[in-house]
Structure 1
C-alpha cells in the first residue's frame, strides 16, 4: 500500500497540471480551444434582384471569411420574416433578430429627428443626399439611435421616390385629388400626399401588390427599383418621375449585440458596412437606369415633371414644412438643405 501511494499522488499532480488555464490566447496557445461564434440574421423587404440584397451577399461573404468563421450571416430577403420595415426595426430593437436594412422613413416612429430626410424636395441630387447622410448630420443621427438600442452603421440608397396610379399621367397636384394612395409608415409622407390632394394612408409594403390588385388603393409611390423588382408595373399603369423624396436605407444592428462583439469583430462590421454602402449605391444608380427601361418595356406609361410642374408640388408641400420644422428642429433642416450647395 505504501508503494502505491506515491503513484496515486503523481497521478493527481498530473491531472491538476492538465487542468490549469493557458497563459496565452486561444488563437495562439495551440490547445485547439474554440473561439466564440456569433450569428447575424438580417431581414429586409426587398427581393433578391434588388441592390440591397446583392450588396448584402457581399457583406455576408466578407464578414464570414475575414472573421475566420466567427461570424455567421443569414440573409432573409423578400419579407420572409416581416411584412413591414417597422416590424423588422422593432424586432432588431428587441433583439429578436440582429440586423435589418429598412427604408429610413419608418425610423421616424422611433426617433423624430429622422423626419428631416422625409421632407419633400429636400435634396436636389444623389450627391447632395450623400453629403448630408455621410457627413455631420447623418453621423449625428446614427449616434442618436443608440438610445433606442439600435446601432446605425451606414446609410444606403433606394433612390428618389416617384408616383404611380391607374387613372392617368400626374402633372399637377390636382391630378391626385381623391386618389386612394398608399404611403410609407411615416406621418410626414402621409401629410405630404394629403397636401397634394390625395386620399393618403400608410400600408405594409409586403401586402401592397395585392392591395393594388384588389383596388384597395389606386396609387402608390416608391423608387424605380422597387417598381420593377416587385412587379408593380402589373398593377399600375402610369408612372410620374416626380422625385419628391430621396429615399435612403440604413444598415441597422441591435446595439446590445454590437457591443457584445469583440473589438476586432466590431471593426470588421464597420469596414464591411462602409464597403456595402459603396457597392450598394453604385448598383442602385445603375439599376435605376436599367429598370426604368424595363418598366417602359412592360407597358408603364412614363412622364417626367417639368421644373414648372415640380414647383407646383413644392408650393403645395409648404404646409408640410410649416408643420414639421418645429418638431424636427430648424437647425437639422438647415444642415440638410445646405448639402445642396456643397
Structure 2
C-alpha cells in the first residue's frame, strides 16, 4: 500500500453538483469515482462504517446523518451506514489510513491532512484566497476540484466530492487580533500543515501543531494561547469556555473531502456505487447550506455567551496577505504555478 496521504436540498445547487460528480458529458461517471466494472450486480446487505472527527451536532455530523438516511432510502434499507462521531474511530489521519487498508469504509476529513502525500491539495490552505463561499464552491465543483479528486485512487481512496468546513477564524486568551502585529508571540494550535505553519510564523505567531482531540485541554491549561477553526466548530467544541477573544479573520476557507476506501469501493456493484455517489452529493448540498446557517447562529451564540468578537478590516487583511506573500510564492513553486494560477483564475471568474 502506498503511504497514507493525506433534508434534502432540492434545486439548482444539488442538481448542479449531481450533474458534475456524475459527469455532465454524456452521462458518464466521474473519473475520480469510477472503477473497473464491479462483478457484483444489484444491492447486497452491507454495513458501512463512516467516521468523522467532529461532533454529531456539528453541520458535518448532521450531513453524515443525512447521508446515512439517504443511503438507506435509496437502497431499500439494504445498505446501512453506521456513523461514528467525535473521532471515535481515530483522527483524520488514522481514519484515512483505515480506509486505505480496507478497515473502514468512509471518512470526510478536511483537505489539509491530505497534503502530506498529494501536495496539490495545499492550494486550499493558501490564506485569503476566497472572500465568500460561492467562490470556493466554483473552484471545488469545477475542473480544478475534479482534477484533485482524480489523484486519490492511486492512494487507495475514492473522492465523491467536497463538503464545507468553512472559513477559519482565530480565538485566543490574550487579546483581540485586529491587525497583523497582534499575532506576534501568540502560541496558536494549528493542523500539521506546512502552509499554515509558515504563514503564521510569517505573521509573528508561534504555531503549534496538535491533534484536534487535544485542543480543548491545551487551551484550558494554557499550553497554547489560541486556535483557529470555523465558527460552527468553535461553538460545537465549546472553545468559548476557555477562550475570551474571537477575531473574525476568515484567513482560510477549508473544504471537507468525502472519501471512500478504494478496496471497499471496488467490491460494490455499479448500483451500490451510484447510491453512495448520489447520496454524498445530495447530503453535501444539504450540509453546505446548513453550515452557512449554523455559522451565523454560532456567531450570535458565541457573542451571547460572552466572547469578545472583533472584525478584521479589508485593509488589514491585505496587509496580512502582503506579509505572507513570500510563503505563498514558495509553495506555489512547489505545488505547481500553473495549478495555482488556475485556482486564482477560477476565483476571478466567480467574482464576475
TM-score range (shorter-chain normalised) is 0.7 to 0.9
The change in CA–CA distance for 1:89 and 1:224 in structure 2 (over 3 A counts) is same
Aligned-partner Cα distance in 2 for 1:92–1:341: 36
Q: Answer yes or no: is 1:67 the counterpart of 2:80.
A: no
Aligned to 1:259: 266
Structure 2 Cα separation of the partners of residues 88 and 166 of structure 1: 31
Could you tell me which of 256, 261, 285 is aligned with 1:278? 285
The partner residue of 1:337 within 326, 333, 344 is 344
Contact 1:137 1:336 (C-alpha < 8 Å) held by counterparts? yes
- Check whether the contact 1:212–1:218 (CA below 8 A) recurs between aligned residues: yes
On the 8 A contact 2:44/2:79 being kept in 1, the answer is no
Q: Does 1:180 align with 2:171?
A: no
Is residue 81 of structure 1 aligned with residue 95 of structure 2? no
CA contact (8 A) 2:101 2:263 kept: no
Q: What is aligned with 1:146?
A: 153
Kept in 2, the 8 Å contact 1:91–1:97? The answer is yes
Q: Partner of 2:133 in structure 1?
A: 126
- Structure 1 length-normalised TM: 0.88
Matches of 2:304 and 2:265, distance apart in 1:
45
State whether structure 2 residue 70 is matched by structure 1 residue 53: no
Distance 2:78 2:117 in 1: 31
Q: CA–CA distance in 2 between the matches of 1:214 and 1:91?
A: 32
Q: Which has the higher contact order (CA 8 A, sep 6+)?
A: 2
Structure 1 residues not aligned, in runs of 5+: 1-24, 28-34
- 8 Å CA contact 1:123, 1:337 repeated in 2: no
Q: Distance in 2 between matches of 1:211 and 1:95?
A: 33
* CA drift at 1:193: 0.7
The match for 1:240 among 231, 241, 247 is: 247
**Does the 8 A contact of 1:178 with 1:197 survive in 2?**
yes
| Moved >3 Å (runs of 4+) | none
**Distance 1:26-1:291 versus aligned 2 partners, 3 A rule:** closer
Task: Please name the residue that 1:317 is paired with.
Answer: 324
Shift of 1:135: 0.4
What pairs up with 1:12-23 in 2 under 5 angstroms?
none
Q: C-alpha root-mean-square deviation of aligned residues, in Å?
A: 1.5
Q: Structure 1 CA distance, aligned partners of 2:338 and 2:153?
A: 21
Q: Quick one: structure 1 residues 341 and 26, their matched pair in 2 at CA, closer, same or farther if it must change by over 3 Å?
A: closer
* Distance (Å, rounded) in 1 between the aligned partners of 2:167 and 2:50: 24
Pair 1:214 & 2:230 matched: no
What do the CA deviations read for 1:267-311 (whole angstroms, capped 9, x no partner)? 111111110111000000000110100000111111111111111
Structure 2 unaligned blocks of 5 or more: 1-39
Report the TM-score, using the length of structure 2 for normalisation.
Answer: 0.85
Q: Number of residues paired by the alignment?
A: 310
